[in-house]
Amino acid sequence: MKLNFNIIKINTIKNINQNSKYQNVSKPVLFSDMKNDVFEKSMINEVSFRGKRGCSEANFEVKDIKNLRCPICGQVMIDKNQMEAYACDIASKRGEDLKKALEFYEDERNLTYDWENGEKRSLYRPVIQEVVNCVKKSAVEHPNMDLAGLIELNGKPHMENLIGLQMVVVNELLKYGKENIEDEKELLRFKNILDEYKNRIYGIGEEDFKRKEFIHAVSNITSNEKVQEGIDEIVKKLPTSTNDANSFFVKYSKDKRTSKAIARQFFMRSIATTEHLHPKSKGGVNRTDNYICDCANCNEQKANVYFDDWQKTIPNIKEKLEQYLQDVQDAYDRGEISAAYANYTDEIVDTVDKLTMGKIKLKPPIKAYRVEPERNCEFVEAEEY
Ligand SMILES: [Zn+2]
């Protein structure tokens, strides 16, 4: 299979120099040519850095390193251009071809330049992998259907599974309410709300069941704060299209989106994002020493939890972070990120030490001689052709 995006083969220093993204910088460059170019981003960074560390989330250059592994889940991360290319590829195929295309992205070694000896790991996050498995099977059974058609076809059986999962939560709420809500009026009101939404789940009610509406409806049941907190915790377990495959099928079969829009959802969660180690909502600053790059999936799961609480839930976090820092350091040494990141990896070692109160002491990565990119770039007046 041929991919319509560039994978630069980087094996030796010689190759790196030849393929350096800065290589052509010294010849006249029109600003319009530089849109979406990596080197343009790094120039913006140099401008926007205030002092040594000031950096906006959007300009965090580590996000631009190709095929960096997520330090939380260990799976490969991609950028928006890759997502578009992969989504186009999948949307254009049917039957066996579609199955093969979907499988192609289950082995990240197909997408990278230096992991030939690495292990086989999927680009899809766990819930998406479940969706993909199901689509592959039905693509072979229905060779003339595109992705959108297959998702719609699978909507109904998944709807039944979803109803089951939603009812588990509603029943748990009812049980919890009966045991914990002391005020009779409050309990009655709670039961009525649950009944109404039960009907909606089964499609008997006049309106559709909507997760957000339901969460809102039960957010103010009792004046007993502790009991209300318990309700809020249980209701969070309701499946969503991002944490449950059934819900994904139901959502996208109802929405009637194009194959490409659905395929984008397959990769959306693998996109590299900026994570604040110390949450922004808790006073975390926009500085590179407070940033790591993780995938959209992990970023969403962390939300605004303190790093020290979060890290306890992640298996082998120390090893993964050390691997991440080494990968970033290697990219820095190859000249792929700007000189502003000279101390980045050391800063993260320090930040993690501080945020975990010394519980995680990361081994600093091995540094090599940095291949300085050519940077004698000058802006020239745009010429008319
Ligand atoms: Zn991740």
pLDDT reported for residue 38: 37
Token pair of 95, please? 């039957």
Residue whose structure tokens are 């907190």: 229
> Coil, helix or strand for 46?
helix
pLDDT reported for residue 116: 57
**How many DSSP H helices and E strands does the chain contain?**
15, 2
Measure 300 CA to ligand 1 centroid, in angstroms.
10
What does the alpha-carbon distance between residue 147 and residue 181 come to, in Å, rounded to a whole number?
A: 47
Token pair of 121, please? 């790991």
> Coil, helix or strand for 117?
coil
Measure 35 CA to ligand 1 centroid, in angstroms.
28
pLDDT reported for residue 31: 32
Contact 216, 117 (CB under 8 A): no
Measure 22 CA to ligand 1 centroid, in angstroms.
29
pLDDT reported for residue 39: 34
What does the alpha-carbon distance between residue 156 and residue 37 come to, in Å, rounded to a whole number?
A: 44
Measure 45 CA to ligand 1 centroid, in angstroms.
25
pLDDT reported for residue 136: 97
* Residue 78: C-alpha distances to residues 54, 345, 351 (Å): 25, 21, 25
Q: Spell out the residues 6+ positions from residue 86 whose beta carbon is closer than 8 angstroms to its own.
A: 78, 105, 123, 263, 266, 267
Q: Residue 142 carries which side chain, given as an amino acid letter? A: H
What does the alpha-carbon distance between residue 100 and residue 307 come to, in Å, rounded to a whole number?
A: 39
- Report the candidate in 88, 149, 8 with the shortest Cα–Cα distance to residue 105: 88
Measure 76 CA to ligand 1 centroid, in angstroms.
8
Measure 278 CA to ligand 1 centroid, in angstroms.
17
Contact 286, 54 (CB under 8 A): yes
Low-confidence ranges of the chain (pLDDT < 70): 1-54, 112-118, 374-385
pLDDT reported for residue 96: 97
Measure 323 CA to ligand 1 centroid, in angstroms.
14
Measure 73 CA to ligand 1 centroid, in angstroms.
4
Burial of 361 (0-12, 13-18, 19+ CB in 10 A): exposed
pLDDT reported for residue 113: 56
pLDDT reported for residue 81: 92
Measure 334 CA to ligand 1 centroid, in angstroms.
24
> Who surrounds ion ligand 1 at CB < 5 A?
70, 72-73, 295, 298
